Amino acid sequence: MNSTNEVKIDTTPIPGLLVVTLPVHGDARGWFKENWQRAKMTALGLPDFGPVQNNMSFNASRGATRGIHTEPWDKFVSVAFGRVFAAWVDMREGDSFRQTFSIEIGPETAVFVPRGVGNSYQALEDNTVYSYLVNDHWQPGPAYPALNLADPTAAIPWPIPLDSDEVEISEKDRNNPLLGDVTPMKPKKTLIIGAKGQLGRALAVVFPEAEQVDLDELDISSAAAVEAWPWSDYEVVLNAAAFTAVDLAETPEGRATSWAANAVAPALLARAATEHRLTLVHVSSDYVFDGTAASHTEDERLSPLGVYGQSKAAGDIAVATTPRHYILRTSWVIGEGKNFVRTMQTLAGNGVSPSVVSDQIGRLTFASTLADAIRHLVTSGAEFGTYNVTNDGEPMSWREIAAEVFALLGRDRDDVIGVSTEEYFAGPLAEGKPVSPRPLQSTLDLSKIKAIGFQPDDQLGALRAYLGQ
């Protein structure tokens, strides 16, 4: 038995399959080991896979052989008594399909088995007790890929030949298919929520394999609808849905809608993400700040001015409670559909000289840039948490951006008239129309997202490309 005091983790030829060497402490009475020690093992690189069920399999006689089973959950396998020869076959769709690995396991060894890797073992001693933690509850009904123990392609070197009189195999396992007849297990899916919006459409481009839903298909503000959704089929959830009518949010009806979409819905998604170990990506806003800082960092205290900002801040707090989360704070989003740049483009083409606020400062965020940043976070293994994402470049006012649009379309920059926020909204306020307070400084610090290898394009270059210049 291993008498070392240190846990050790080794990789194998199968991606994600990890061998764990466990300290076993023995004396005349027997032995003791920490079979699963979350803090130590995750610090060494074992996934924090969240086990929810512990199963034990008693094998009365040497030669009992089980497998090859490919359930859709992660396992942490070990031996409580005796020894086994254990073997795995990668049954996942991809380049590693068919890859095998085998090892003898006693109390001093455990193996982390990722979802989609077929698991099997053969008892080498009488009265062997095989133990495994899993991170999903077994349910009757669904069929999962299985592989014949004698498959010639896998060619597992069973120490006790399968045709030996010592070997006991269930009839079901004897009839499992050969590898050529197995359909590889597909990876868990990515889900885009709010697929019809500006960001949702941009996400569909960079996540072409993702499933797309809109609120008519999944009402994420409904606890019953969220509870009924088959979250176990997914690995990543991209929440691009939001209520962004900031002025309407100041009305009684809009206030309720804003809170439902921007606070209740993210809270329900966060709860589902925690329960099903999902990575949840949520998009926030510069409106969670009051705009008094020249540049907003990710750790600035929340200080929203209006209902929209308050509901978005509440959503941020809720999403931050689930362990695997990315919150992307952004500003001034421009994508496909109705937006500020398209409005200025239309006005320029129609010969209009608009009045545009000149005291709100920030940067544009093109939906394609935001989608690329999300892809980078999800695929790069970046630390979970909050990240600011906008396009790069010198911060500008809305008036300066409008003037740039006009210049690109052949109009004079001076055709755009600068006014203060107070002047701009004086008319609507006098008429009793709802107006949300705006943060005057919306510039988001980009140091953190750049530090993990994502470099946003300059906003003026992106603007030229957007307008086809």
Q: In a 10 Å sphere around its CB, with 0-12 CB exposed, 13-18 middle and 19+ buried, how is residue 293 labelled?
A: middle
CB-CB contact of 139 with 84 (8 Å)? no
Please say if 387 is a catalytic residue: no
Structure-block tokens of residue 368: 């394609």
DSSP reduced 3-state for 101: strand
- Greatest extent of the chain over all pairs of C-alpha atoms, in Å: 94
Q: Which of the 8 DSSP states describes residue 425?
A: T
Please say if 69 is a catalytic residue: yes
CB-CB contact of 280 with 322 (8 Å)? yes
Active site residue: 132, 326, 387, 466, which one? 132
Structure-block tokens of residue 45: 């690189």
DSSP reduced 3-state for 264: helix
CB-CB contact of 453 with 322 (8 Å)? no
Q: In the beta sheet, which residues pair with residue 408?
A: none
Q: Which amino acid is at 262?
A: N
Q: Which of the 8 DSSP states describes residue 221?
A: T
Q: In a 10 Å sphere around its CB, with 0-12 CB exposed, 13-18 middle and 19+ buried, how is residue 148 labelled?
A: buried
Cis bond upstream, residue 68 (ω within 30) = yes
CB-CB contact of 400 with 362 (8 Å)? no
Measure the CA–CA gap between 296 and 290, rounded to whole angstroms: 10
Measure the CA–CA gap between 221 and 235, rounded to whole angstroms: 20
Measure the CA–CA gap between 441 and 66, rounded to whole angstroms: 64
- Please name which of 379, 368, 395 lies closest in space to residue 460, comparing C-alpha atoms: 395
Q: How many residues does the chain have?
A: 469
Q: Which of the 8 DSSP states describes residue 260?
A: I
Instruction: Just list the catalytic residues.
Output: 69, 132
